[in-house]
Amino acid sequence: MSTQVLIIGLGQFGMSLAKTLSEKGAEVIAADLNKEKVEEAASFLDDAICLDATDEIAVAKLCPKERDIVICAIGAREASILTTAILKQMGCENIIARATDKIHGRILKAIGAKNVINPDAEYGKKFAYKILFSNVINDEASEDIQLLEINVLPFMTGKNLIELALPNKYGIIVAAIKRENKLTRPFPDEILNEKDKLLLVCTEDAIVKMIEENK
């Protein structure tokens, strides 16, 4: 059985989230006050409903407690707080709420959100990261570590992983080598080519230190 996700708020973030989750096989139901956005979402979702999420009676019709995950993707602070509070009162345990700043996030946590995200801040951080470090192709981040795909840097070309000693110097683990779009095991004595790509597991500070020290 696929994961049932209820998304409330179909702004740019909510719409993108709904579409991606649906494409990945989740059963997604979405709601928004804007009729045009609801109609757009209805073209690719299991169900999309036009309603005021700060109306407790209207929200009850979505049966939020029965969903595996409920995401409050509303950007407006007051509406997001009211909606999150309503969802919690209805017995929803797995609430993910969108925050616009740290204070907003703390309020959402206090009233019952299990997880709080700030997509604007996360995007800004990742975009700045790509500007500053052009060799970073993409990354998946958690609170402590990141999985990065980078182009082999000039100082790495012609060397093997033993010579580079990335774990000892920077705490960076090479999870795989991508060569001609194929992932291979990172053999310690294998010479790196300038066209190779590396999948790294590390902290943000570690990758920054490595790049800065080897410019």
- Whether the Cβ atoms of residue 172 and residue 200 lie closer than 8 Å to each other: yes
136-141 vs 47-50, strand pairing mode? unpaired
Q: Which residue has the higher pLDDT, 84 or 204?
A: 84
CA distance 58 to 56: 5
**What are the pLDDT digits (tens) for 123-145?**
666 666 555 554 555 555 554 66
Give the pair of three-digit tokens for residue 82: 């009211």
User: What's the whole-model pTM score?
Assistant: 0.63
Read off the pLDDT of residues 63-74 as tens digits, 9 standing for 90 and up: 999 999 999 999
What is the three-class DSSP state of 105? helix
pLDDT at 150: 86
β-partners of residue 115 are 96
**What are the backbone dihedrals phi and psi of residue 176, each rounded to the nearest 5 degrees, phi first?**
-165, 160
CB atoms within 10 A of CB 71: 27
Distant-in-sequence, close-in-space partners of 75: CB < 8 Å, separation ≥ 6:
9, 11, 13, 98, 100
Does 147 have pLDDT greater than 60? yes
Q: How far apart are CA 28 and CA 18, in angstroms?
A: 7
Q: Could you tell me which residues come within 8 angstroms of residue 90 by beta carbon, excluding any fewer than 6 positions away?
A: 59, 60, 64, 65
Q: How far are the Cα atoms of 3, 45, 101, 172, 184 from residue 198, in angstroms, in the given order? A: 33, 36, 34, 11, 10
Judged by DSSP in three states, 64 sits in helix
Label residue 24 by pLDDT band (50, 70, 90): confident
Domains of the chain: 4-118 (3.40.50.720), 130-213 (3.30.70.1450)
* Amino acid identity, position 162: I
- Mean residue pLDDT across the chain: 87
Query: What pLDDT score does 164 carry?
Result: 94
Mean pLDDT along residues 96-111: 92
pLDDT tens profile 31-60: 999 999 999 999 999 899 999 999 999 999
Question: pLDDT-derived band of residue 215, with 50, 70 and 90 as boundaries?
Answer: confident
pLDDT value of residue 206: 85
Cα–Cα distance, 185 to 190 (Å, whole number): 10
Residue 57 pLDDT = 94
* Residue 130: per-residue pLDDT: 57
Side-by-side strand order, sheet with 115-117: 47-50, 27-32, 4-8, 69-72, 95-98, 115-117
pLDDT digits (tens, 9 = 90+) for 148-175: 888 899 999 999 999 999 999 999 999 8
Higher pLDDT, 81 or 2: 81
Q: In 3-state terms, what secondary structure has residue 141? A: strand
